[in-house]
Structure 1
């Protein structure tokens, strides 16, 4: 029985698929990390705004209000930066996911080809065995007839 001729290509495609899976997992992890930081800063902003609102009701010095506003401006810059990073990380993750899907389809094609080849070879083996059985039967029949 001859081996599947595209085994090396199938192995290469499987390797590429595993590599792409690893890259996708890294990109997903990076996206989650950046998204969690963004969530943290958004939550922090919300909490500070609540605290400030409560403190305003109690009365605050103008200097405190100005420093709070400056702090919120800086925090908003950080949030904007992380929103941008989240968008970039999402795009990167989606590209890696597309590549993984494409490679998965390629691997499936080669696996299907190998499966068909294996089925063809198994059928060929059954035919050869049947032919051998037929030849044996003919030989036995001839042997009995000549006796």
Structure 2
């Protein structure tokens, strides 16, 4: 008799859901990394601009250029604030998707564990039935010897 797991379709469905959750999680990680890298580049640009401005202030800088730099730094700070919010949202979404993935993974593990236990039970029943048949054959052979 061939082994057939009664929840095989459910197991395959749960495995497919887990794979989809894995894909979504990878996408959210990518979005988070992209936003974080962009934020880092903006922070680096602001730092470089401020150090450049400090150097230029030591050598002398026209007021118009100082205003221009201050305006530019203000715009960069607004962009930085925006990207900080994006990074926070991306991190929260990534953490949520990670929790979803872990939940799907646990569900798949549960069904795999059920399948393993069910298969072991099937093997034990098959072994018991085989032993019973061997006993029956032995009894019949003994009875045939007795008859002769």
TM above 0.5, yes or no, is yes
Q: Which residue does the alignment assign to 1:107? A: 108
Aligned length, in residue pairs: 147
Q: Which residue does the alignment assign to 2:88? A: 87
CA offset at residue 146 of structure 1?
2.0
Q: Could you list the per-position Cα deviations for residues 32-59 of structure 1 after superposition, in whole angstroms to 9, with x for gaps in the alignment?
A: 0110000000011111111111111111
Q: Give the 5 Å matches for 1:66-145.
A: 66-145=67-146
CA offset at residue 113 of structure 1?
0.8
CA offset at residue 3 of structure 1?
1.8
3-state secondary structure, aligned to 2:110: helix
3-state secondary structure, aligned to 1:105: helix
The answer to whether 1:31 aligns with 2:32 is yes
Distance 1:50 1:140 in 2: 100
Q: Which residue does the alignment assign to 1:61? A: 62
Distance 2:146 2:34 in 1: 85
Q: Could you list the per-position Cα deviations for residues 64-102 of structure 1 after superposition, in whole angstroms to 9, with x for gaps in the alignment?
A: 100000000000011001001001100111111111111
CA offset at residue 7 of structure 1?
1.1
Distance 2:71 2:82 in 1: 17
CA offset at residue 135 of structure 1?
1.2
What's the TM-score once normalised by structure 2's chain length?
0.96
Q: 4+ runs of 1 displaced by more than 3 Å? A: none
What's the TM-score once normalised by structure 1's chain length?
0.96
Distance 1:110 1:47 in 2: 55
